[in-house]
Amino acid sequence: MEPQTVGHKLSTYPTRMEVTQYNCKESWDWLKSYGLSDDEIDLHFFYSPEQQRHVFWNLDLDGTEFFEARAVSTNRIPKSLQHGPKPFVVLGNHEDNQDVVVVVEDIISAIKVSRHYLTIPLFGSHLSEASMAKIGKLGVRGCVVWLDADKYPVGMHYAKQLSAILPTTALQTKEDPKCLHDTDVIVEVENAVEAMESV
């Protein structure tokens, strides 16, 4: 049985479909518009035709499940339905850049940034103290908290808290990392790290 959030009740996903341009074109086009590859879409998402949302799923080592179902259509409110406690997810496995971890707001931004750096999606704008402690145990030399312009005060707040654990800086851009090309992602993070190290 696989949990699903339907309104405020826990139910099951009667069906899970692969996200493709043929069976869920709206979600496929939306995910592709942010530059995700076919493999990245297949790895991280499935489609719920009942909800008409694509879904990110995470299963922690202790068996705790988390779902985030995202609506593409503006007619579907709310745009994001979540079930389960927000997980601590670390994406990326890049030996050259494992000394820096980048905290971002959403899973699509995390997928794009994780192509180059260890990355943690918040699934919103909340970073718990437990997650901060886990970041401190990753063995990285620094952290970049990267939220878009309207969330910058939140990012600054968390960067200040994390600074008590390891060198941390807040990075503000007009848009989320998911809206940027890979080259721009690298430039933004490298500039943030350089500024942090020069302090």
For the chain, 199 residues long, give each residue's pLDDT as a single digit of tens: 344 443 434 445 567 889 999 989 999 999 999 999 999 999 999 998 888 899 998 888 887 888 899 999 877 778 888 888 999 999 997 666 568 999 999 999 999 999 999 999 999 889 999 999 999 999 898 999 999 888 888 999 999 999 999 999 999 899 899 999 999 999 999 999 998 888 6
In a domain, 159, yes or no: yes
Place of tokens 């690298």: 186
Residues 99 and 65 in one domain: no
- 45-48 and 80-83 as β-strands: parallel, antiparallel, unpaired? unpaired
Helix (H) / strand (E) element for 104: namely strand 100-104
The range of the structural domain enclosing residue 117 comes to 95-198
> Residues 194, 99: one domain?
yes
φ and ψ of 154, to 5 deg: -65, -45
pTM over 0.95? The answer is no
**Nearest alpha-carbon partner for 161 in 186, 183, 136:** 136
Task: Note the pLDDT of residue 149.
Answer: 85
Q: What's the rounded Cα separation, in Å, for the pair 2 and 16?
A: 10
65 & 111 share domain: no
Domain boundary residue among 30, 56, 83?
83
Give the pLDDT score at 9: 41
Domain count of the fold of the chain: 2
What CATH number did the domain enclosing 135 receive? 3.40.1360.10
Based on the fold, state whether residues 103 and 190 are members of the same structural domain.
yes
Judge if 162 and 192 occupy the same domain. Answer: yes
Residue 74 within any structural domain of the chain: yes
Residue 41: its H or E element: helix 38-44
Can you state the angle between helices 152-162 and 129-136, rounded to 10 degrees?
50
Answer yes or no: do 78 and 111 share one domain: no
CA 8 to chain centre: 23
